[in-house]
């Protein structure tokens, strides 16, 4: 399997302008640093960025040019083939969403393209980031806390079941960002992707999502794309109530299910959303088996998968911990083929497993080793890198 990040690190080691401190690779004048965690085929690149949105995007493109190029030359092309849409058709979808985009996100996207020195165009960056709105995401999440978990901590998952044929798994990335005037946050995704599909912040807010079609007659692209709504929540929210309100008040597009957890309280909510509706569920409101201190959804609000996931959680109730999340739920139920993430949002730690291989020879993420990452320490580290 190709590991663009690892190849980049070896190349950077030969550059005179490169410096290495505390296992980080940096470039002079760039607001970013890179490290690699895990071993062998389990390695995951970690990018630290800080500053203005443009500076953060530029650092991403500059430090990880090879991996970014892969995402756009390989993955975007495969996405376009898979959804049967050309550039002009995708641009028409983007044009509906762009008026709802925050200036900060557009600037970060532009910085990403500029950081690659022409290897990737700004137009292609926009195209790739609207693909999640067009394609389907069939996933799983749960959050458990208090009496449901072994130590009372908020344990949450994000199991991403998505097209491994697009080879996103070739360039896995954890981004730890500290924007000017904001709070540190992290996203689990891929090199070249600046949206959010899995994330947590230094206020201990964790967020997961699932694609759905429960209110598809009201679907529209005239709204903020899911991956940027999630990014805004993770970047901005300091409490569970604030996070829920941000989703409720957003100009939403198509049908999504969200899990929002707050490790400080701890507590969580599951949201069933569409363009025109947003239903908020606590443990006592779920429309299927209810478990104290637990919310969960899988493969759609009315899916039989909810019974399957609920049964596993009921069996483990009172002793749910990251091991249960990884082994019993994700590996045991077979969910999270592209990436599988467990959060201990109270302790500030995550565990990430990514798919391995390419078409015809893919090992699903939930069947691969999970790599532990100390998010709380990473938030401290990015603050220090930014000079705080």
Q: What is the pLDDT averaged over residues 11-25?
A: 46
Q: Per this entry, what is the length of the chain? A: 388
SS3 category, 351? strand
- What integer pLDDT is reported at residue 7 of this predicted model? 36
- pLDDT over threshold 60, residue 94: yes
Assigned token pair, 359: 């078409």
Assigned token pair, 118: 């022409």
Task: Report the distance separating Cα 275 and Cα 115, nearest Å.
Answer: 34
Q: At what angle do helices 122-134 and 87-97 cross, to 10 degrees?
A: 80
Name the helix (H) or strand (E) containing 310.
helix 305-316
Cβ–Cβ under 8 Å, residues 212 and 230: no
pLDDT digits (tens, 9 = 90+) for 343-359: 999 999 999 999 999 98
Residue 332 in domain: yes
Residue 344 in domain: yes
Q: What is the pLDDT averaged over residues 283-302?
A: 92
Residue 55 in domain: no
- pLDDT over threshold 90, residue 106: yes
Q: What angle do CA 307, 200, 113 make, to 5 degrees?
A: 115
Residue 295 in domain: yes
Residue with tokens 């947590």: 200
Residue 84 in domain: no
What is the tally of structural domains in the chain?
Answer: 1
**What is the percent of the chain where pLDDT is above 70?**
94
Cβ–Cβ under 8 Å, residues 341 and 368: no
Nearest CA-CA partner of 41 in 375, 374, 369: 369
Task: Report the distance separating Cα 156 and Cα 19, nearest Å.
Answer: 37
Nearest CA-CA partner of 189 in 202, 181, 200, 205: 200
Assigned token pair, 191: 């090199």
* Dihedrals phi, psi of 208, to nearest 5 degrees: -130, 165
- What integer pLDDT is reported at residue 299 of this predicted model? 79
Is pLDDT larger for residue 190 or for residue 19?
190
Q: What is the pLDDT averaged over residues 76-85?
A: 95
Which range of residues forms the domain containing residue 324? Answer: 136-164+208-373
Q: What is the pLDDT averaged over residues 316-334?
A: 98
Residue 292 in domain: yes
What's the chain's average pLDDT?
93
β-bridge partners, 294: 144
Cβ–Cβ under 8 Å, residues 192 and 171: yes
Phi-psi region of 72 (alpha: psi -120 to 50; beta: other; left: phi over 0): alpha
Residue 27 in domain: no
Going from the C-alpha of 26 to that of each of 35, 60, 66, 180, 373, the distances in angstroms are 9, 11, 16, 19, 20
Residue 109 has, within 13 A of its CA and on its CB side, a CA count of 23
Domain CATH code at residue 222: 3.60.60.10
Phi-psi region of 217 (alpha: psi -120 to 50; beta: other; left: phi over 0): alpha
Residue with tokens 């996933």: 139
Residue 143 in domain: yes
Kindly calculate the radius of gyration of the chain based on its CA atoms and give it in whole angstroms. Answer: 19
- What integer pLDDT is reported at residue 18 of this predicted model? 38
DSSP conformation letters of 271-323: EEE-SS-EEEE-TTT-SS---TTEEEEESSTT-THHHHHHHHHHHHTT-B-HH
pLDDT digits (tens, 9 = 90+) for 111-131: 999 999 999 999 999 999 999
- pLDDT over threshold 70, residue 137: no
């Amino acid at each position: 399997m190709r590991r663009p990040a690892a190849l980049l690190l070896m190349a950077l080691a030969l550059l005179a302008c490169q410096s290495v401190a505390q296992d980080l690779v940096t470039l002079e004048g760039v607001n970013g640093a890179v490290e690699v965690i895990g071993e062998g085929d389990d390695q995951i690149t970690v990018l630290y960025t800080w500053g203005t949105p443009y500076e953060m995007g530029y650092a991403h493109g500059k430090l990880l040019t090879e991996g970014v190029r892969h995402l756009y030359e390989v993955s975007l092309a495969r996405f376009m083939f898979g959804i049967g849409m050309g550039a002009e058709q995708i641009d028409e979808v983007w044009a509906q969403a762009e008026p709802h985009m925050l200036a900060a996100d557009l600037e970060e996207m532009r910085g990403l393209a500029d950081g690659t020195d022409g290897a990737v165009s700004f137009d292609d960056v926009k195209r790739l980031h609207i693909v999640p709105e067009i394609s389907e995401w069939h996933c799983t999440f749960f959050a458990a806390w208090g009496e449901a978990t072994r130590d009372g901590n908020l344990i949450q998952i994000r199991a991403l079941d998505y097209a491994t044929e697009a080879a996103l798994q070739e360039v896995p990335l954890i981004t730890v960002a500290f924007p000017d005037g904001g709070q540190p946050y992290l996203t689990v995704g891929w090199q070249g992707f600046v949206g959010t599909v899995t994330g947590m912040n230094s206020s201990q807010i964790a967020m997961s999502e699932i694609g759905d079609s429960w209110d598809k007659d009201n679907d529209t692209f005239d709204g903020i794309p899911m991956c940027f709504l999630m990014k805004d929540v993770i970047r901005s929210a300091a409490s569970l109530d604030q996070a829920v309100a941000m989703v409720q008040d957003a100009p939403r597009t198509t049908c999504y299910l969200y899990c929002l957890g707050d490790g400080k309280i701890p507590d969580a909510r599951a949201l069933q959303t569409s363009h025109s509706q947003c239903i908020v569920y606590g443990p006592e409101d779920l429309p299927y088996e209810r478990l104290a201190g637990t919310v969960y959804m899988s493969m759609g609000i009315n899916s039989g998968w909810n019974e399957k996931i609920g049964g596993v959680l009921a069996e483990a109730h009172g002793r749910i911990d990251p091991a249960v999340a990884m082994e019993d739920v994700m590996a045991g139920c077979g969910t999270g083929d592209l990436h599988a993430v467990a959060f201990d949002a109270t302790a500030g730690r995550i565990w990430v497993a990514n798919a391995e291989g390419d078409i015809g020879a893919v090992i699903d993420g939930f069947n691969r080793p999970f790599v532990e990452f100390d998010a709380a320490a990473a938030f401290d580290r990015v603050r220090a890198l930014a000079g705080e």
